[in-house]
Structure 1
Amino acid sequence: MSTGAVDTGASTALAQAPDSARAVLRDTIGALEDRLTGLSHRLHANPETAWEEEKAARWTASLLDELGYAVTPGVCELPTAFAARIGSGPLHVALCAEYDALPGLGHACGHNLIAAAAVGAAGALARVADDLGLTVTVLGTPAEEGGGGKILMLERGAFEGVDVAMMVHPGPVDVAEAEPFAVAHLNVQYTGRAAHAAAYPEQGRNAADAFTVAQVGIGLLRQQLPSTTRVHGLVTRGGEAPNAIPERTEGRWYVRASSLEELDRIQGRVEACFRAGALASGCALEIEPESPPYSEFRNDAELVARYRRNAEGIGRRFAPPGDPAARMNRASTDMGNVSRVVRALHPYIGVGSLPAVNHQREFAAACATATADAALLDGALALALTAADLAAGGG
């Protein structure tokens, strides 16, 4: 695993792959168009949530197998993860394929496009890997939406020997740099005592009231939190019947901050609000992490510059600084943890969805359109060109 220092600036003369190799990449992705868009639409029509992506993993891996990759399913003891590899060159590039959907919203973050773009870039790079000195691995990475699949894969060695990890994420507009929040995912449970709400209310301990107190505390706390933080969540179980004091309630809460270090400071204050709910209601409290914390993302300036140049070269246009539609790049990702130990790239590609934005039903619909298909092909090509240029420049 590469652990070298992250570049702080890009070269003014970035090397470029030979025109012949670039032509092969373009032609290959063009030839794969129907298979790539077919995969994207198939995933979109069959959304599977975190850790349940059985069809998505199988369909994505199967296409890579057809493209000549050696596929290993179930890597890292994760049934819906896989690794697919081709080439034996000194520069090892990993393409990350996400394919989990959101509960109740389907592919409202466009992970169907992420998986298909990774396969497209991989299919193109397979044609030039030996000539350019590349080893290419596609990692099927489950459970990005709150499960931390990449973190587990990182801890279990999936990124060992990788020099560069890359992916492209859909959004309303194109953005080159990722600036996600670090995030902690918390499962919160209160246990009280049931009683008849009219006849014997004094014998109950109201676990729903515990959440009410906690949420009021969090709402008041927000005034004292830095502007770089976010706290949000929902109650997933609020009780069983209106005439019974709720004895057990559950919720899921996210705490976000600009870095893991800031997150560590803020999370304790948020958890104190949950403890206040327990104290006021007389209920017992359990707080358990749903996954390891997601890190902020560490951009590699050279990779960003190479991707931007290639994306603009094929006609993509990036949102200007400060564009509200570009805020998708603040969304948390487990790719941030990868970026702490491997040079990483995580740009965003626009799917023409405005006014719809990520995690809306309208955005899900926008991720299976002709415009989204074009973005998928552009993203695949821009990733492939960037990897090829990196190899030509000596990594």
Structure 2
Amino acid sequence: MKDRLTMELDKIKQQLWKISDQMYTNPELGDEEFESMGLLTQILTEHGFHIQTNIVNRSTAFKAEFHSEKSGPTIAYLAEYDALPEIGHGCGHNLIGTMSVGAGIILSKIVKETGGSVVVLGTPAEETNGAKVPMSKEGIFNDVDVAMILHPYNESVESGTALAVDALQFKYKGRSSHAAAAPEHGINALDSVIQLFNGINALREHLPSDVRVHGIIAEGGQAANIVPDLAIAQFYVRAKERSTLDETVGKIINIANGAALMTGSELEISNYQISYDNMVTNNHLSRAFTENLKEVTGEPVKPAEHSNGSLDMGNVSRVVPAIHPFIGLNDKKLVLHTQEFSDRTISKDGQQALVNGALALACTGYDVLTDHELLENIKNEFKELVK
């Protein structure tokens, strides 16, 4: 049956390459990916998928479903298609989207025989306000048995871990005044931000080694002779576990309140981007995918690595068994979020990764559909890991 998947992929690979190239040529930022969404949903519609758009109130999010008449598991493939400012698809989301769509289409060709369903979810804005977060909260995965996404990289790596992250904004409001003629009438909001940074830097000595705190001053005044009445700091706070992150954020909020008390300013705290949970890889599902990727490519796959980045796939992994592995583009020197990486996605190596990735994803979906012991092990592991 896996040979059948290869045959089905051969029928659409030229079309998938064309879509990936079009997304590369016209990169779109998060929640603005209208053309990319249109390209992906059009080919899914052509192959019999029922499409819903504007899900979870995100205009470029979609759900594509293909159901057989036989009962069975539901396999979900997640498509990303947002680009980065200036450098376009430096994270390879043009490949991610087309690999998932390709996997969904070719697996749909055999579910009439195996039973089960295939779902492709269009998940915008991974780089900023990842739509997988509201999807996880609002029940999009309620009927899904496993969820998979495959990310291009400089080499192939098993699905591993990623940090949970909160994006915190601290807005201090003070009172302006002439900094030389009447400083006593002013309340310096920038001083509050400076004390916030100082307090966080003092806290670093007492944080676990997996915690990362990094921030900027987004606004700090308009002129040196005017006491700043508004100052804004933005931070990413990351940790390997959500519980550690929550504890760290509590300490930082205490520091922020203390900085406001020191200067007499008013403080508003908010999340300026959606929070991501840490990634929890399902190892049974991961091993099945890794074996398929090795078989498809004939190349080794590196053991899982811990990433100090963050993924909205982490939120998905808390509600359904999930993996987020990487497929190599045949250049170990490549670095994500660069123009060189973006250009690689439309090279011969990028095209080969697209078809290899789509096939490995589809073969893993087939394994879950037909191997009842594998599915049971996946579900039992999920219950143990996510409590």
TM-score between both structures, scaled by the size of structure 2: 0.88
Residue 276 of structure 2 aligns to a residue in which SS? Answer: coil
Deviates most, 220-229 or 186-195: 186-195
Task: After TM superposition, give the deviation of residue 349 of structure 1 in Å.
Answer: 1.4
Residue 190 of structure 1 aligns to a residue in which SS? Answer: strand
Separation in 2, partners of 1:362, 1:205: 47
Match of 1:5 in 2: none
Deviates most, 149-158 or 231-240: 231-240
Separation in 1, partners of 2:256, 2:350: 42
- Structure 1 residue identity aligned to 2:251: R
Residue 24 of structure 1 aligns to a residue in which SS? Answer: helix
Match of 1:15 in 2: none
The equivalent position to 1:51 in structure 2, one of 8, 19, 31, is: 31
The answer as to 2:11 corresponding to 1:31 is yes
Q: Does the Cα contact within 8 Å between 1:102 and 1:145 map onto a contact in 2?
A: yes
Q: Percent identity?
A: 37
Task: After TM superposition, give the deviation of residue 181 of structure 1 in Å.
Answer: 0.9
Match of 1:218 in 2: 200
Q: Does the Cα contact within 8 Å between 2:27 and 2:82 map onto a contact in 1?
A: yes
Q: 1:278 to 1:346 in 2, by over 3 A?
A: same
Match of 1:346 in 2: 324
Q: Does the Cα contact within 8 Å between 2:104 and 2:120 map onto a contact in 1?
A: yes
Task: After TM superposition, give the deviation of residue 130 of structure 1 in Å.
Answer: 1.0
Deviation track 1:82-135 (CA, whole Å, cap 9, x = no partner) reads 111112342101111112223454323222221111111012112112112130
CA RMSD, aligned part only?
2.2
Match of 2:311 in 1: 333
TM-score between both structures, scaled by the size of structure 1: 0.86
Match of 1:6 in 2: none
Q: 1:124 to 1:187 in 2, by over 3 A?
A: same
The answer as to 2:224 corresponding to 1:246 is no
The alignment of Structure 1 onto Structure 2 pairs a total of residues equal to 370
The equivalent position to 1:145 in structure 2, one of 127, 134, 141, is: 127
- Structure 1 residue identity aligned to 2:7: D
Task: After TM superposition, give the deviation of residue 243 of structure 1 in Å.
Answer: 4.2
Separation in 2, partners of 1:210, 1:368: 48
Match of 2:67 in 1: 87
What residue ranges of structure 1 are gaps of 5+ in the alignment? Answer: 1-20
Match of 1:357 in 2: 335
Residue 91 of structure 2 aligns to a residue in which SS? Answer: coil
Residue 232 of structure 2 aligns to a residue in which SS? Answer: strand
Q: Does the Cα contact within 8 Å between 2:19 and 2:98 map onto a contact in 1?
A: yes
Q: 1:284 to 1:353 in 2, by over 3 A?
A: farther
* Runs of 4+ with >4 A deviation: none
Separation in 1, partners of 2:256, 2:349: 44
Deviation track 1:335-367 (CA, whole Å, cap 9, x = no partner) reads 112212211121111224543422344433433
The answer as to 2:292 corresponding to 1:314 is no
Match of 1:14 in 2: none
The equivalent position to 1:391 in structure 2, one of 369, 375, 383, is: 369
Deviation track 1:193-246 (CA, whole Å, cap 9, x = no partner) reads 233444444433333332222222222222211011111122333333444333
Match of 2:43 in 1: 63
